[in-house]
Structure 1
Amino acid sequence: MNTGVKITVFAAALAATFGTAYGVGAAIDPAAADQDSAAHSEHDRPAPAGHGGHGGHGDPTPAGLQVSEAGYTLDLKTSRVTAGVKSELHFAIRDRDGRQVTSYRREHGKELHLILASRDLVTYRHLHPTRAADGTWSTPVDLPAAGAYRVFADFTPDAENATNLTLGADLAASGAYRAPALPEPSATTTVDGYTVTLNGDLRPGKASELTLGVSRDGRPVTDLEPYLGAYGHLVALRSGDLAYLHVHPNGEPGDGATKPGPEVSFTATAPSAGTYRLFLDFQHNGTVRTAAFTVRTGEAAPGSASKPTAGEEHTGSNHQH
């Protein structure tokens, strides 16, 4: 693309998330509250063929790694907060002339979706900020642990020829930091008494079906409620750089074919081999819950059967992860 793309280069003490800035393993060190502001460097890359944040195929750069793209910039006005203290996060989207954007296309019931995740992929938030008339967005946040976080803004400007974008910026939470280990891959997880099971194999550079089944007290949940226009929303983040993949489910409520559970299926393509954290948001009995999984592409984990995509021959062997 001709427009220079700015990518966030996190300050040295925060960029080394698992290094000496916060401590390694069981060591506990204070995270500095006065880290320097993130610097930005420019580089050129080809224009994307589709929006990687929503499962586009063949994108040269995964979504969420850049702070600016296609003439729009994520202006994160709150660059640091204090861990364990409720804070207000402020940000705006600016156009190529520096003006704050005030007009968006609604997608899944919202003008903008905000994802916040820790660099260690243990903490995850799907937030719904409010927009002021001048284009400034705000939302309360309460981060449980000190460390480095990434903020993703997923939106489509209401402008001619505008496409969906996911821009990312770094956020620091100060306090005593202990680096947690990423949970091991497993096909099953529990949240608030619900058991969620993952079937399918996340593949690098190739579309595959991921199916997540929800049960409670051993019984399948067949009355999932629509949440933001779907029975589930799935976000995948790559360990290391937090490349962002937001995949919408196959089918939607009211289409005459999609059932309200117990399974919600997605078609996803991993941008590369590696380790990912998958976060499923689903709603039942009026409450939204998030189920998290660790997935390594190309590796098996107990209890997960791989499902081929349409038109792909099934050999009969099971892929587990």
Structure 2
Amino acid sequence: MNTGLKITAFATAVAATFGTAYGVGKVVDPVTDRAPTAQHGEHDGERKGEHDGGHGKEGAAPGGLQISERGYTLDLKTSRLDADREEELRFAVVRESTGRNVTAYQREHDKELHLIVASRDLTTYRHLHPVRAADGTWSTPVDLPEAGGYRVFADFRPEGAKEALTLGADLAVAGKSTPRELPAHSTTAKVDGYDVTLKGELKTGAGGDLTLDVARNGKPVTDLQPYLGAYGHLVALRSGDLAYLHVHPNGEPGDGTTKAGPGISFTTTAPSKGAYRLFLDFKHEGKVRTAAFTVHAGGAGHAEKGSDGHAEKDGTGHAEKGDDGHQH
């Protein structure tokens, strides 16, 4: 099933497990120049859910750029963390009409809420799945390697709502900060022994198709595993304001036509010209990995590739929490 782009703003951290939690929280795809690769497990056979909310609709304003929208507010209870140290990030979604935390959500891609964390310079990225306590407070552990400004984005659909919503809030990470340049334009990326090649262009207006081919040791990977109900998930962040596009793949596991690699295809429309950082999540041999690229949409000037023709390496760590709420 083709699913349109989601446009929303982008994010930063979340931390530790909260007492009696509803559902299993997972920490997904840390990407950073410093982070080593760690394991991440995920249950197979996850159902792919419809996730519209206007995020990918042509002509819709980017989401996630506001802390309050459509009667809901993101209450970030942790506004500051220390760099290179695992800490807990806690937050809630408040319904403005009642002043109470939202406690009923519709599951999207096997989760009630997806949390994205990104540094302002787009060199650190986290896709997190926190746990929810009975009072509607969400929590998850997070370890951000470098100080600076981050953005936290909560992507969710309240029970009974027609569309999904993404709210964003700023997060400060204390320590000595040295912002980095956006990694150079490239259509190839290496992560944890895998080579991922991007085909197609990120376009504005009518949009276009992107295909990401996964290979290892020079051989195409043809046995990708379902992750959150798909063979891949793609997030695009616009350089500058971190406007966020959550792009769902074309087709899904078990539909009779979608192959388990090497190619994962997406139909995308960028909200404007400019530079974007793309993050592809894919699962193979029980681990989720994230490949990162820098691309330019709408004819914006391309930066040159590095001497090896690849984007800067982004280590990808993955950790899973069990039913007890702890990471494994």
TM over 0.5: yes
Secondary structure of 1:109's aligned partner: coil
Q: Deviations over 1:197-235 (max 9, x none)?
A: 011111123321111010000000000000000000001
**Higher RCO (C-alpha 8 Å, min separation 6):** 2
Aligned to 1:281: 281
Q: Deviations over 1:106-141 (max 9, x none)?
A: 111100111100010110001010000000000000
Secondary structure of 1:177's aligned partner: coil
Q: CA deviation at 1:51?
A: 3.2
2:200 is the counterpart of 1:180: no
Q: CA deviation at 1:191?
A: 0.2
Asked whether the 8 Å contact 1:227–1:283 carries over to 2, the reply is yes
Aligned to 2:119: 118
One-letter code of the match for 2:203? R
For residues 163 and 72 of structure 2, the distance between their equivalents in structure 1, rounded to whole angstroms, comes to 11
Aligned to 1:166: 166
Asked whether the 8 Å contact 2:247–2:266 carries over to 1, the reply is yes
Secondary structure of 2:100's aligned partner: coil
Q: CA deviation at 1:162?
A: 3.4
One-letter code of the match for 2:143? D
Q: CA deviation at 1:52?
A: 4.5
For residues 235 and 91 of structure 1, the distance between their equivalents in structure 2, rounded to whole angstroms, comes to 22
Q: CA deviation at 1:180?
A: 1.1
Asked whether the 8 Å contact 1:114–1:151 carries over to 2, the reply is yes
Q: Deviations over 1:254-279 (max 9, x none)?
A: 11110110010111111111111000
Please give the TM-score of this superposition, normalised by the length of structure 2. 0.74
Aligned to 2:292: 292
2:257 is the counterpart of 1:249: no
Please give the residue correspondences for 1:20-99 in structure 2 after superposition, counting only pairs within 5 Å.
51-53=53-55, 55-59=56-60, 61-96=61-96, 97-99=98-100
2:66 is the counterpart of 1:100: no
Aligned to 1:192: 192
Q: CA deviation at 1:287?
A: 0.5
Aligned to 2:39: none
Gaps of 5+ in 1: 1-6, 9-49, 304-321
Please give the TM-score of this superposition, normalised by the length of structure 1. 0.76
Q: Which has the larger radius of gyration?
A: 1
For residues 85 and 208 of structure 1, the distance between their equivalents in structure 2, rounded to whole angstroms, comes to 40
Aligned to 1:224: 224
Identity %: 67
Between the two proteins, the alignment pairs up a number of residues equal to: 253
For residues 258 and 145 of structure 1, the distance between their equivalents in structure 2, rounded to whole angstroms, comes to 39
Please give the residue correspondences for 1:3-18 in structure 2 after superposition, counting only pairs within 5 Å.
none
